[in-house]
Amino acid sequence: MTTVKTPRALAALASALALLGAAVALIPSETHAARRGLAATFTVNSTVDADDAQLGDHNCAAAGGACTLRAAIREADALGGPVNIMLPAGTYTLSLAGANEDAGATGDLDVNATITITGDGSGTTFIDGGGLDRVFDVALNGDLTVSGVTIRNGSADQGGGVRNAGLLTLSKVTISGNTATSQDGGVWNRSTGVLTISDSIVSANTAGSYYGGVGNDNGGTLALIRSLVTGNTAPLAGGGLGIAGNATFTNATIVQNTVTSGGVFATGDGGGVLVSGGGSLTLLNDTITNNVAPGGRGAGVSVEPGSTVKTKNTIFSNNSLNRNCAGTITSQGYNLDSGRTCGFDQAGDLSSTDPQLGSLGNNFGPTPTEAPNAGSPVIDAGTNFGCPTTDGRGAPRPVDGKGTGVKVCDIGAVEYGATSRVRLPILARNAS
């Protein structure tokens, strides 16, 4: 049946369309992506540390009109995000004094929104705390993603470089030279924090008591992926990392971290990693070597009673005096202990075995690694069950390292014979 519209109906329809048009006309022109519910983009064009001149106006502009890093973050916080911040090569040093202020106008850069910061590269883009305060403070409602920068020279009582209570993702980032007078020299992941560190370096950070590189509080969640933790120091325990929450390390390299005083903390010092306070750590294809804890029993990984560590396809080697482990560590098979302190007794486990690794260096990947030498016992000695599809350099695994015609995952972070696409000598570039 065909419906015929009367003149009255047509007039009503015309009136409705006119009202709709008027309503649309009242909506301001959508010249800014944030007003459409999409991510806005601010491009920083000044290395000066200056606040945003007018919060909430959808513009990144300090007095004089320049877009500074602080102004971009403050405007993003005011808008609630999401905001993308493009950070060109340069050194961005914090200089507005005023620690313990959580609005971001002074001291550290406070994140209270969804923000993504993209730098030019960790060897060319530096965010420097200037010893003034920590560099970033991510609040409970904050969601910060950072890539391609170095975070350095932060200083605070706890969490010298970064403090996180929200969501924090660090990718291709170097966290170096930060100091905490108490704990967590590089990064402090608080009890509500969810922290992911991938393809990154945590190096040369210092704590006054515990956890030189990264501290993960009870309740916090940490994922360490294809990353290097090296050269961090703490006097009492956890030279590299302290885990009291839940953590997973995959294809990580944890080397040359140090507990300096020799003071004993519970079952051991944990030159590389201390797991305490009911913490839970899962290790998969990691390399933990050459860490130092002169006074404790576990220079590589120490586990306090009530905490748990599960490990598979992982190397524990040449930590001071071959004290590679302390406490109870549950083997899921195919681990290597250069000494006999880890108690490995499952299928594929190797004890009193030298892994024959090369020194820490650039092996064609985003971070330095320790690669197996030819003839190493770790080659094709792991299990393919649960093995990551890439190694610590991003190279595909497993490969046929022994030439037997069968592809088998290696033990440790680096797959012998695999090839990655890039070589980034990050440590050398950052030193220059």
Residue 61 forms part of a structural domain: yes
* Number of domains into which the chain is organized: 1
Q: What's the domain range around 58?
A: 39-153
Residue 149 forms part of a structural domain: yes
Question: Do 364 and 423 meet the contact criterion of CB atoms below 8 Å apart?
Answer: yes
Residue 304 forms part of a structural domain: no
- Which alpha helices (DSSP H) does 260-415 contain, by range? none
Residue 51 forms part of a structural domain: yes
Unique residue bearing structure tokens 């990064």: 187
**SS3 category, 301:** strand
> Which of 177, 127, 128, 176 minimizes the C-alpha distance to 148?
127
What is the chain's pLDDT, residue by residue, as a tens digit (432 residues)?
444 444 444 444 444 434 334 333 333 322 333 433 457 999 999 999 999 999 999 999 999 999 999 999 999 999 987 999 999 999 999 999 988 888 889 999 999 999 999 999 999 999 999 999 999 999 999 999 999 999 999 999 999 999 999 999 999 999 999 999 999 999 999 999 999 999 999 999 999 999 999 999 999 999 999 999 999 999 999 999 999 999 999 999 999 999 987 544 444 478 999 999 999 999 999 999 999 998 667 889 999 999 999 999 999 999 988 899 999 999 999 999 999 999 999 999 999 999 999 999 999 899 999 999 999 999 999 999 999 999 999 999 999 999 999 999 999 999 999 986 544 444 433 333
Residue 209 forms part of a structural domain: no
Gap between the Cα atoms of 332 and 335, Å rounded: 8
pLDDT number for residue 394:
94
Residue 181 forms part of a structural domain: no
> ∠ at Cα 115 (111, 121), nearest 5°?
105
> Which of 288, 286, 281 minimizes the C-alpha distance to 304?
281
Residue 142 forms part of a structural domain: yes
